[in-house]
Amino acid sequence: MLSACLALGRRNLAWRSREYIRCIATPSSADTEHTREQLRQLLRETAQSVTVVTTLVPSDPPVDTDKNECRKFHDGTGGVYHGATLSSFTSIAFDPLPLVAFSLRIPSRMATALNTHVRDVSDTNASHMVINILSAAQPHLAVKFSRPDLHPRPLEDPDVQWTKSEEGFPILSGALGALSCTLISRSLPLGDLRWVPGRHPSEQVEGYGGFTSELFIARVSRVERVPWVEEQTGENDRLRTLPLLYHRRKYATVCDIPPKS
């Protein structure tokens, strides 16, 4: 009798949990739009760190059509270096593993390349990318890596100084810091939430403004040593020690809060 009661209790708890998840996962379109706009306005008042993710992307034609081309790609001979500005980067855990997360709009060369790395690299401990945390002296790099229409290959620009990580990915000189990272899995689609518990498979979520995104979660395998920018002196030397932030649609940095008198 006791075991039957416990089983019934577990079923009821599971049912209530599913109903709760369904309620929070399936709001109306009007509610979602209202929440989205309120969140956007609030986040404009907060400061977001600005980072640039760099990796090797496939050259044309796509490398995953041929195993030999895949090998060349991961040997660094069948692709080109590429970078993309992130505004959604965050640290999500230190224990049991140091994890970070970010999202990328799709379709994009960067998103495709990162998923290709996960699929084809047999060594799961090998880094897939470097996340460069920009300093306050580098707003020009944030712009350059965010405009592929104007700067399709910014790492080939002579004004962009960089070195290679142990795995051969670009580390931007003068950055506040750089992280070599390994993706823990393929990205999660944020335009199709069928993987969210409680959603019906037929329910779709359209991307805002015609775009959709994918979520990437990565383990930090190494904190890199970042080289200084050549001939960096004066004001830029001071800004090198401060983070680049995005606040109210402008680039900014931090300042100290004066102590209470």
Pairwise CA distance, residues 181 & 219, whole Å: 5
State the pLDDT at residue 68.
44
Pairwise CA distance, residues 165 & 223, whole Å: 10
Pairwise CA distance, residues 131 & 181, whole Å: 7
The pLDDT of residue 58 is above 90: no
Average pLDDT over residues 58-75: 49
Residue with the bigger pLDDT between 227 and 78: it is 227
Question: Quick one: pLDDT band at residue 169, thresholds 50, 70, 90?
Answer: very high
Q: Which amino acid belongs to residue 72? A: K
Q: Give strand ranges (E) for the chain.
A: 48-49, 51-58, 79-86, 90-93, 99-106, 129-133, 162-164, 170-172, 177-183, 188-189, 212-224, 245-247, 250-252
**Domain boundaries 49-248, corresponding CATH code:** 2.30.110.10
Of 41-55, 59-73, 99-113, 155-169, the poorest mean pLDDT is in: 59-73
Average pLDDT over residues 234-258: 86
Q: Which tokens belong to 36?
A: 């989205």
Q: Which sequence spans correspond to the domains of the chain?
A: 49-248
Inter-residue contact 246 to 128 (CB < 8 Å): no
Residue with the bigger pLDDT between 131 and 25: it is 131
Average pLDDT over residues 234-254: 86
State the pLDDT at residue 32.
75
State the pLDDT at residue 9.
54
State the pLDDT at residue 83.
96
Average pLDDT over residues 52-62: 80
Cis peptide before 259 (omega within 30 of 0): no
Q: Which amino acid belongs to residue 65? A: T
Of 101, 96, 128, residue with least CA distance to 221: 128
The pLDDT of residue 255 is above 60: yes
CA–CA distances in Å: residue 252 to residues 48, 50, 172, 229: 10, 10, 19, 20
Residue with the bigger pLDDT between 69 and 85: it is 85
Q: Which tokens belong to 134?
A: 């920009």
Average pLDDT over residues 126-146: 94
Percent of the chain topping pLDDT 70: 69
What angle do helix axes 67-75 and 109-120 make, rounded to 10 degrees?
100
Pairwise CA distance, residues 238 & 136, whole Å: 9
Q: Let me know the angle formed at the C-alpha of 191 by 70 and 183, rounded to the nearest 5 degrees.
A: 40
Q: Which amino acid belongs to residue 43? A: L
State the pLDDT at residue 193.
63
What's the whole-model pTM score?
Answer: 0.76
Pairwise CA distance, residues 49 & 89, whole Å: 7
Average pLDDT over residues 134-141: 96
State the pLDDT at residue 21.
41
The pLDDT of residue 221 is above 80: yes
The pLDDT of residue 62 is above 70: no
Q: What is the pLDDT of residues 176-220, one digit of tens each?
A: 999 999 999 989 888 766 656 655 555 555 544 556 889 999 999
